Amino acid sequence: MAQTPLLPPDVGRLAEARLRQLSVLAADRGLAPVDQGQVVLTVVATVEAYVDEVLRELIASSGYDYSAFGRAMLHELEDRIYQSWRERHGWLDKGFAISIAGSAAAQDLLAVVELRNAIVHGSGRLTDRQSRDVANLIKLEHRLQEVLDVRVENRTVNLASSTGIRAIEVARVYILALDAEAGLKQLTRRV
């Protein structure tokens, strides 16, 4: 997996802060044996926080608060916007024309999220929800192997020593992709 530069010169401030967190996490891996699962949990939390920050900033700069209707609508929808990855990506697209959901970066990130869900909700095993449909289960197992070097045996996820660093790289690529899209949209709006 090709490494991307940690901090490109034109990276936004929100992305920079989260990329710095990921670089510290990557550096810490060399200091002691690391729990790959813990790295995955931290990576997902970091990216989730970043996307939520981007959404909050885009919403704040959208002018929604210029009308009572806009304020009321946001009040009704606000919790839903941050409820799931599908909602986050949907609102980035619907509200700000940022179509990242179908990108390779987002698809790889969703593989990391699926692994996180297996760790948290399945205690290290794919959940009933993840393994309900056989065709989707096979696709998920393939994606986990391809993206994160995770092998699944009898629904148990077996993380490799490279899983954490792969998850960090996936997060880095995703953050840079969203930063480029969101920054461009903000720049376009200001002109």
Instruction: Point out the least confidently predicted range of 31-35, 77-81, 133-137, 148-152.
Output: 31-35
Provide the residue ranges of all domains of the chain, joining segments of one domain with +: 14-51+100-190
**124 secondary structure, DSSP code:** S
State residue 184's pLDDT score. Answer: 57
**107 secondary structure, DSSP code:** H
State residue 186's pLDDT score. Answer: 56
Q: Report the distance separating Cα 90 and Cα 154, nearest Å.
A: 33
* pLDDT band at residue 10 using 50, 70 and 90 as cut-offs: confident
Compute the mean pLDDT over every residue in the chain, rounded to the nearest whole number. Answer: 88
75: left (phi over 0), alpha (psi -120 to 50) or beta: alpha
Does the pLDDT at position 60 exceed 90?
no
Does the pLDDT at position 4 exceed 50?
no
Q: Report the distance separating Cα 9 and Cα 190, nearest Å.
A: 21
Does the pLDDT at position 50 exceed 60?
yes
Task: Tell me the mean pLDDT in the region 180-189.
Answer: 66
Q: Report the distance separating Cα 27 and Cα 24, nearest Å.
A: 5
Does the pLDDT at position 113 exceed 80?
yes
Task: Tell me the mean pLDDT in the region 13-29.
Answer: 87
Does the pLDDT at position 30 exceed 90?
no
Amino acid (one-letter) located at 77 = L
DSSP labels, 107-158: HHHHHHHHHHHHHHHSSSB--HHHHSSHHHHHHHHHHHHHHH--EEETTEEE
Instruction: Point out the least confidently predicted range of 67-71, 117-121, 168-172.
Output: 67-71
Q: Report the distance separating Cα 109 and Cα 168, nearest Å.
A: 10
Residues 6 or more apart whose CB falls under 8 angstroms from that of 157 comprise 115, 118, 119, 122, 124, 125, 126, 144, 150, 151
Does the pLDDT at position 190 exceed 70?
no
Q: 161 in helix, strand or coil?
A: coil
Instruction: Point out the least confidently predicted range of 8-17, 37-46, 102-111, 131-140.
Output: 8-17
Closest CA to 174 of 166, 162, 164, 163: 166
Q: 125 in helix, strand or coil?
A: strand
State residue 64's pLDDT score. Answer: 78
